[in-house]
Amino acid sequence: MLKMTHLAKVYRTEVVETYALRDFNIDVKEGEFVAVTGPSGSGKTTFLTIAGLLETFTGGHYHLDGVEVSQLDDNARSRIRNEKIGFIFQAFNLIPDLNVFDNVEVPLRYRGMKAAERKQRIMDALERVGLASRAKHYPAELSGGQQQRVAIARALAGSPRLLLADEPTGNLDTQMARGVMELLEEIHREGATIVMVTHDPELAARAQRNVHVIDGQVVDLAEEPRFHAHAHTAHS
């Protein structure tokens, strides 16, 4: 489903080159729930933005659903984002001027879908996250957990092949975070492919597979002493 080979991302300024990702390799199979972990600045968010076609990369290869994406123009990348990828952001990223219904509708409008089908999908997605009764509410009228559920509904409404979640519980309290996590697990059980970036080992432990990123590279956890120490502290 998602395969990166020797992928590199370099940020260049006039005086310095910074490798955000270097010889980055990952292969996520269809139906997998993968957690990408790592310390701040390790490159996990850069990985997510490239995986979601929000950014281009400097070198290497990236196949998404069998398509090499490096040569695609902006329109094609937009279309793939719209049709194949669902995003869940840490800050929810709902549009404050639109109500819940209209927020979930945003990606569907860019697909040129008929109004009746849009409405059906929106209501199904809102039912799915338990917020059908809040369709006319504005984001500011909802709790953080509810806002993230709307964001999940927005990601689900387009029936994406891949769900990318960037610290989906980072802005939520424990109880709300648990609810959102249970929802993601449920969605995964129903067959969705999920890649979740998190720095929280507890959340990562609930994924099927963990990928650890340090200094822009995927590392083998067994060979990484810092991780052992950190994991030990976290579980003690």
We find the least distance from the C-beta atom of residue 114 to another protein, in angstroms, to be 11
In the region spanning residues 171 to 210, those forming contacts with another protein, defined by CB under 8 A, are: none
How would you classify residue 215: left for phi > 0, otherwise alpha for psi between -120 and 50, otherwise beta? left
Nearest to 44 by CA among 214, 206, 181, 204: 214
Q: Does 78 bind another protein (CB under 8 A)?
A: yes
**33 neighbors 14 (Cβ within 8 angstroms):** no
Residues 145-174 binding another protein (CB under 8 A) are 154, 158, 166
Inter-residue contact 134 to 100 (CB < 8 Å): yes
Q: Where are the alpha helices (DSSP H) in 162-224?
A: 174-189, 201-205
User: Which range binds another protein by CB under 8 A, 1-9, 10-18, 90-98, 175-183?
Assistant: 90-98
Q: Is residue 107 involved in binding another protein (CB under 8 A)?
A: yes
CA distance 104 to 149: 11
By the rule CB under 8 A, 111 interacts with another protein: yes
Residue 58 binds another protein (CB under 8 A): no
In the complex, which residues of this chain contact another protein (CB under 8 A)?
A: 45, 48-49, 52-55, 74-75, 78-79, 81-83, 87, 89, 91, 93, 95-99, 102, 105-107, 109-112, 154, 158, 166
